[in-house]
Amino acid sequence: MRKTLYILTIFLLTINAQAQNGKSEFIGTYGDMILANGEFGGTELELKADWTFRLRTTDYVYPQTFKDYTNEGKWILKDGEVILNPDLQRREPTVNIIEKQIGLKDSIEIKVNHYIELYENQNLIEKQKTEFELLTLYFNKRRKYKHLTREWLKEGSCAWAPRIRNRVNLDSTNTFRIAKKDIKKIGIYTYGFTDFIELKTENKNSDYYELDVVIPIDKERMPRNKKVIIKGNRAYFYEIKGKVKKSLNHLWKKTA
């Protein structure tokens, strides 16, 4: 019995030592901008030896605000990749559609309702109908997008900001009309989405479509099951369509 317990203890100690050695190469501070004082600006990720992390990054839901959030949490290694807050499932936006026939002869009316579900400490604290800044639609195929926005949103506020083509300025009713056509599906994209959400329509004779867009947001903007790929002194953090892309700017590991 003592021999069995001894062997089990040695085995567990060996596994723990291997885990500690495996994580050592990842421990450190990573950032994408070095300021004059030698500190990181922009995104900064610190992976600690006790399997906790500290992350400061720009709002990933509304990056155009340039507002920074700082969070702490737990990290693990899985298949050689770092996962931040692995126990937190990612929040996904939802879109529902209502179809009607309202007797329009040569046009179709579209209405968009935009809601924010705000969470704090994992609890839903508010659901509010809000005025979105920019929302993109397409009908049937991913081309000839219509960018729904507001008259007050001016172009050219940033030197790198592209011109908004096929722009439709909405008023407080959030409705607009298009020429009558056979709509088989509608694609929607806005802030808080990782990619277009596509919905199929049911009645080709419908001339009114009402879209309910719901965006769930954590007030703290903590990462949720966030993957980070680390290769040497580089940490690949940024995503396209919800996946980390090595083609994007990476974070550098801070050296002593």
Euclidean distance between CA atoms 199 and 99, whole angstroms = 12
Give me the average pLDDT of each 10-residue run along the chain (256 residues): 49 44 84 69 92 96 92 96 97 97 96 98 96 94 90 60 80 94 96 96 95 98 97 95 94 84
Query: Residue 29: its pLDDT value, please?
Result: 94
* 204-245: pLDDT as tens digits: 899 999 999 999 999 999 999 999 999 999 999 999 999 999
* Annotated domain spans of the chain: 2-88+222-253, 94-218
Euclidean distance between CA atoms 54 and 46, whole angstroms = 5
Tokens of 180: 């009558």
C-alpha distances (whole Å) from 85 to each of 2, 8, 76, 158 are 39, 30, 8, 34
What dotted CATH number matches 94-218? Answer: 2.60.40
Domain at 2-88+222-253: CATH architecture? Beta Barrel (2.40)
Query: Residue 224: its pLDDT value, please?
Result: 97
Query: Residue 177: its pLDDT value, please?
Result: 96
What is the helix (H) or strand (E) element at residue 116, kind and residue range? Answer: strand 107-120
Residue 222: closest CA among 27, 61, 46 = 61
